[in-house]
């Protein structure tokens, strides 16, 4: 899963990125302005821990989340064309945005205004998408004038997109429009799921009320979390208790992102490797097999499935089987969160 961290200057993007990826520092391009920075983290999962203890494999592989610190939006927009096009390329590739808004007072920017800052970012998405949709529609009319045929319902879909964007709404309000085969390729920014990350001061853990339209929001205390991310495990646990934080920012952001993107985790187990895989919820078993290996998808026969809870309760695979908890499922079986799957396939 790839998430882009975006926000206005000095909103705390780098601070939060560092907290999530347990890094320090800032990077810049040779040109001097900030560059998109990439960091990957393993997703903690107590189920994977148990499976790993149980199977004692040579290798245990966690699901991975990649974060991109997409610096500088807007402001650099007009001044650095080259950088902006690089930024847009990165932005189009992420599955969702973490939208950081400043909720602490800054010596140069003054008191925070989360609603205003959020809206400014949303407008950037909408304006970028308006440009894309208008340009494509102009091209379509030019082609039609020359007598060319228009594919499927592309024009209708784009006109519906324009209507939403012109009403100053993000395409997120109607995800089907931008997910259609005719429009998917445009990778509209305002259609991507967003999670607003409100960056609070150390002593405040409340979410501002009703400030964000068409978006889910959560609080992270960026500075505090970054400091905690640099402590040892034991120190961090003690620190967290003092501040009433049960889980790290990383755990909370990952959990919310999985929910937002409707993702699920399934596991494969064996002597060589125990591994967690991230898929869209309810993905058909044959497609889930393809996530592991294309041969497994092509030669798919059956999926042998046991729910984590069932295996855990039974104690081991043989007992789970005796209890009738191991099922044989076909190609279309919708994979559930926590399934442990052994794919049977022919090559």
Task: Name 322's Cβ contacts closer than 8 Å, sequence gap at least 6.
Answer: none
Pick one of ligand GDP, Mg ion, none as the site partner of residue 290 (Cβ within 5 to 8 A by kind): none
Residues in 294-313 at the binding interface with ligand GDP, rule: CB under 6 A? none
Pairing of β 339-345 and β 300-307: antiparallel
Helix axes 13-21, 222-229, angle to 10 degrees: 30
CB of 2: closest distance to ligand GDP in angstroms?
Answer: 19
Using the contact rule CB under 5 A, the part of the chain among 5-13, 85-93, 168-176, 185-193 near Mg ion is 5-13
CB of 35: closest distance to ligand GDP in angstroms?
Answer: 12
How far is the CA of 216 from the CAs of 42, 58, 127, 129, 305, in angstroms? 24, 40, 21, 21, 33
Pick one of Mg ion, ligand GDP, none as the site partner of residue 199 (Cβ within 5 to 8 A by kind): ligand GDP
CB of 106: closest distance to ligand GDP in angstroms?
Answer: 6
Residues in 182-241 at the binding interface with ligand GDP, rule: CB under 6 A? 199, 201, 221-223
Backbone angles phi, psi at 35, to 5 degrees: -110, 155
Distance between CA atoms of residues 80 and 121, nearest Å: 18
CB of 21: closest distance to Mg ion in angstroms?
Answer: 13
CB of 166: closest distance to ligand GDP in angstroms?
Answer: 30
Q: Does 21 bind Mg ion (CB under 5 A)?
A: no
Distance between CA atoms of residues 216 and 300, nearest Å: 38
Q: Does 38 bind ligand GDP (CB under 6 A)?
A: no
DSSP reduced 3-state for 80: coil
Pairing of β 273-280 and β 59-61: parallel
CB of 194: closest distance to ligand GDP in angstroms?
Answer: 16
Q: Does 7 bind ligand GDP (CB under 6 A)?
A: yes
Interface characters, 98-127, with ligand GDP (x: CB under 6 A): ------x-----------------------
Q: Does 14 bind Mg ion (CB under 5 A)?
A: yes
CB 217, CB 195: distance < 8 Å = yes
Of 3, 4, 15, 118, the one binding ligand GDP (CB under 6 A) is 15
What is the DSSP track for 319-344? Answer: HHHHTT--EEE-TT-B--TTEEEEEE
Binding site for ligand GDP (CB under 6 A): 7, 9-15, 104, 199, 201, 221-223
């Amino acid at each position: 899963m790839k998430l882009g961290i975006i926000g206005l200057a000095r909103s705390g993007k780098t601070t939060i990125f560092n907290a999530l990826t347990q890094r320090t520092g800032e990077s810049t391009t040779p040109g001097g302005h900030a560059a998109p920075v990439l960091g990957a983290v393993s997703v903690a999962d107590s189920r994977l821990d148990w499976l790993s203890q149980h199977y004692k494999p040579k290798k245990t592989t966690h699901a991975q989340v990649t974060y991109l610190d997409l610096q500088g939006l807007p402001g650099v927009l007009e001044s650095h064309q080259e950088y902006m096009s690089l930024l847009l390329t990165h932005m189009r590739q992420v599955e969702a945005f973490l939208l950081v808004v400043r909720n602490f007072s800054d010596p140069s920017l003054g008191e925070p205004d989360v609603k205003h800052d959020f809206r400014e970012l949303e407008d950037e998405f909408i304006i970028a998408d308006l440009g894309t949709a208008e340009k494509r529609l102009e091209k379509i009319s030019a082609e039609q004038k020359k007598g060319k045929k228009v594919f499927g319902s592309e024009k209708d879909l784009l006109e519906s997109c324009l209507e939403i964007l012109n009403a100053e709404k993000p395409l997120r309000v109607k995800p089907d429009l931008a997910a259609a085969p005719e429009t998917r390729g445009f990778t509209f920014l305002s259609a991507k799921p967003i999670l607003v990350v409100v960056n609070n001061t150390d002593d405040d853990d409340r979410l501002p009320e009703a400030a964000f339209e068409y978006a889910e929001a959560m609080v992270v205390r960026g500075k505090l979390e970054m400091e905690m991310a640099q402590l040892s495990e034991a120190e961090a646990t003690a620190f967290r208790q003092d501040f009433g934080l049960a889980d790290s920012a990383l755990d909370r952001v990952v959990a919310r992102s999985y929910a937002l993107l409707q993702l699920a985790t399934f596991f494969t187990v064996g002597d060589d490797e125990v591994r967690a895989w991230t898929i869209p919820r309810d993905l058909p078993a044959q497609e889930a097999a393809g996530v592991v290996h294309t041969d497994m998808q092509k030669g798919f026969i059956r999926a042998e499935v046991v729910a984590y809870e069932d295996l855990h309760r039974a104690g081991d695979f043989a007992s789970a089987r005796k209890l009738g908890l191991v099922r044989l499922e076909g190609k279309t079986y919708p994979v559930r969160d926590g399934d442990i799957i052994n794919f049977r396939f022919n090559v």
